[in-house]
Structure 1
Amino acid sequence: MLDRNRAALIQTVRGLSDLDARRRLVASLTTPISLIKHAAAAERIWFQRFWAGLDESECDGYSRRDEGTFAVGDDESLADVIAEFERASGRSREIASRFDLDDTKDNPREGTVSMRWTLLSMIEEFARHAGHGDILREQIDTPHCDSRTREAQSPEERT
């Protein structure tokens, strides 16, 4: 299920140009490309930092728990960010395989959590962000007229 949601998140950006992937369609930092960037950071935060106990400097990318997880460098392409997420996901799989589902660790924010809890949390997070990505993609792919499609307008508004 986690891999399915990882793939669903990536699918929301497949075929987008780098320009469209960076389009700000909502007030937050959320863009199609930033959702992928954020997901890569979430992988590192939970699996590399928390479960493997790595220091931030030992992680293969951004791993602080803050708004920086959505930051995409001007020099980063969509293909770069997808590859980064896929690398982080692969590393997460490898780290998770070292633990039993019922192994636990204390987390300062969440209390005692198991590997099972972490995996379920990631399933939930990536499903939510894939939904965000679907909505952003629909906004990019669907032409708008006055913020509404013609079909949504009443007959009086169409004239």
Structure 2
Amino acid sequence: MLDRNRAALIDTARGLSEVDARRRLVTSLTTPISLLKHAAAAERIWFQRFWADLDEGDCDGYSRRDEGTFTVTDDESLADVIAEFERASQRSREIAARFALDDTKVNPREGEVSMRWTLLAMIEEFARHAGHGDILREQIEP
């Protein structure tokens, strides 16, 4: 289900022009491309930083829990950001495979969480963001 929601999120942006992928249709930083950038950061935050205990500098991209997760630079294309999300997702799969579903760790914000809880939280997050992406896509391509 997580991979299905990852793919659904990508599908909300795939095929858009670079201009449309960056169109701000809401007051927040949410755009089709920024949703993918944010999702890649969420992968790194939960799997690389939390589960694998990597320092920020050892992650393969932005991994702080702040608005910076939505930041896309001018030199990043939609294809670049999709590829970044796919790489982060693959690394998350590899990290998750090292743990049993019932393995737990203490998260400063959430308390004690299991790998199962983390996977369910990511399913929820990406389903929500795929819905956001669907709405943005409807506004871009009526």
CA distance in 2, matches of 1:73, 1:15: 19
C-alpha deviation, 1:14, in angstroms: 1.1
Unaligned stretches of 5+ residues in structure 1: 143-159
Cα offset, 1:82, TM superposition: 0.1
Q: Any stretches of 5+ residues in structure 2 without a counterpart? A: none
| CA RMSD, Structure 1 to Structure 2 (Å) | 0.2
Q: What is the TM-score of this pair, normalised by structure 2?
A: 1.00
Match of 1:129 in 2: 129
User: 2: distance between equivalents of 1:96 and 1:107?
Assistant: 16
Number of matched pairs: 142
Q: CA deviation at 1:9?
A: 0.1
Rg larger in structure: 1
Aligned to 1:86: 86
Partner of 1:147 in structure 2? none
Q: Which has the higher contact order (CA 8 A, sep 6+)?
A: 2
Aligned to 2:22: 22
Q: The residue matched to 2:113 in structure 1 has which SS?
A: strand
- C-alpha distance in 2, partners of 1:3/1:117? 16
Q: Percent identity?
A: 87
TM-score normalized by the length of structure 1: 0.89
Match of 2:72 in 1: 72
Moved over 4 A (4+): none
Deviation string, structure 1 residues 17-46 (Cα, Å, up to 9, x no partner): 011000000000000000000000000000
